[in-house]
Amino acid sequence: MCLQTGTLTEGRMRATQLWTAGANAEYTITGTGLNPGNGKVIAPSGAPLPRPSSESQPASPGAAPALPLEYLLCMQAMALCNNAAIEEDVAAPEGWRSVGDPTEVALVAACAKAGLERAWWLANEGLAFAAENAFDSERKRMSVVYRRKVATGSGLLPQGPVGWVLVKGAPENVLNRSVTYLSGADPATAARTGLPAAEIDAAFMERVQLQSTQMAGQGLRVLGLAVRAVATEEELNELVAAAQANEAARNVENPKNDTTEASGSRRLRRASSISRGLGVAEAGLCFVGLVGLIDPPRAEARDAVQRCHTAGIRVVMITGDHIVTAKAVAQSLGIFDPDDPERVRAAVGRWRAAPGPGRAS
């Protein structure tokens, strides 16, 4: 019997952990459901983090609570590199409803618990959406460009940038586009990037990879987060133009069953155009952290799997998750068992559609 992860879990994704890379600090996000009042963010010290001012006017820098810059940049990426939303709805089961992809909804809910939801960033940092490079299965990441409309903001972020590039995606695919991480060790890099950053080295990459594997081993779906502070209007306009060109290239008409040489040439030109645009839009990033999300197994799923084993039915789980995450989820359900030779195998593969009309085999 083959089962997809979604049939075994509740389908209610929730962000539970945030790790900031430069400081090597772990934050816990508490609470279930969508109501922001039902959760908070716990600092590495064990104390709840304060929420910043929720006023629509920029807060005075002197009155701003002391929140780590790296934590704030992670929250900014989670809140704004995102197309989901949550809102109060008295007719909904919990008084709140969501719109959008479950993973993005979980990120929105986490930011709301921190008091750093999209509306806060727009009002207090004066940010306005400018462009998006949509997620795709090849590069496994998404990025957005935001323009800063005010000279001064909340006092929580650096005041110099005229805008931001914000990125989320598979950790390794975000890390390989990043060149710096937050650290006060390199003034020259800080001056060049607009952030207190240092160049990424082998030791830092290993630290990120180890942390990602550790989080995945807890059954968490892990996303990498990165930002880029945009220094000039010229640079910002170039990023927006690149994103718009990417979108236009994706929308080039390409009939589904057109396998002519001309169609193939169009596809190659489109792929080349998109690749050049993304080379501009998603380059020179500062890697800021990892966020871990969990989709709890259904209460009845483990019993159902056990009944299948008892009946002599072999259960196989198919998932798009990282193999370490998949093994942890499968082990919690009794599908994977490192001590049972019949249930110890996990493999990585690429799904391929069966040949059909108009599709080459």
Q: Is the pLDDT higher at 155 or at 63?
A: 155
Mean pLDDT, rounded, of the chain? 81
DSSP state, 276? H
CA–CA separation, 28 vs 307, rounded Å? 35
Coil/strand/helix, residue 312: coil
pLDDT at 342: 61
Mean pLDDT, residues 141-148 taken together: 96
CA–CA separation, 109 vs 89, rounded Å? 15
| Residue corresponding to tokens 């040489």 | 261
Q: Is the pLDDT higher at 318 or at 140?
A: 140
Task: Summarize the chain as % helix, strand, coil (round to 5).
Answer: 35, 20, 40
Q: Is the pLDDT higher at 259 or at 149?
A: 149
Q: How sure is the predictor about 89, in pLDDT bands with cuts at 50, 70 and 90?
A: very high
pLDDT at 5: 53
Q: How sure is the predictor about 147, in pLDDT bands with cuts at 50, 70 and 90?
A: very high
CA–CA separation, 361 vs 351, rounded Å? 14
Statement: residue 81 has pLDDT above 90: yes
pLDDT at 103: 95
Q: How sure is the predictor about 271, in pLDDT bands with cuts at 50, 70 and 90?
A: very low
Tell me how crowded residue 74 is: count the other CB atoms within 10 A of its CB. Answer: 28
CA–CA separation, 294 vs 30, rounded Å? 12
Domains of the chain, residue spans: 13-56+65-253+265-294
Q: Is the pLDDT higher at 147 or at 267?
A: 147
Mean pLDDT, residues 46-64 taken together: 64
Half-sphere exposure of 16 (CA within 13 A, CB side): 15
Of the ranges 9-18, 170-179, 218-227, which one carries the lowest mean pLDDT score? Answer: 9-18
Q: Is the pLDDT higher at 80 or at 54?
A: 80
Cβ atoms of residues 328 and 215 within 8 Å: no
Of the ranges 87-96, 105-114, 283-292, which one carries the lowest mean pLDDT score? Answer: 87-96
pLDDT at 122: 96
Check: pTM over 0.85? Answer yes or no. no
User: Which residues have a Cβ under 8 Å from the Cβ of 23 and sit 6 or more positions away?
Assistant: 68, 70, 182
Statement: residue 345 has pLDDT above 90: no
pLDDT at 311: 75
Element (H, E) at 223: strand 221-230
CA–CA separation, 79 vs 104, rounded Å? 9
CA–CA separation, 123 vs 126, rounded Å? 5
pLDDT tens-digit map of 186-215 = 666 766 777 888 999 999 999 999 999 999
Statement: residue 307 has pLDDT above 70: yes
CATH class of 13-56+65-253+265-294: alpha beta
Q: What six digits make up the tokens of 170?
A: 């598979």
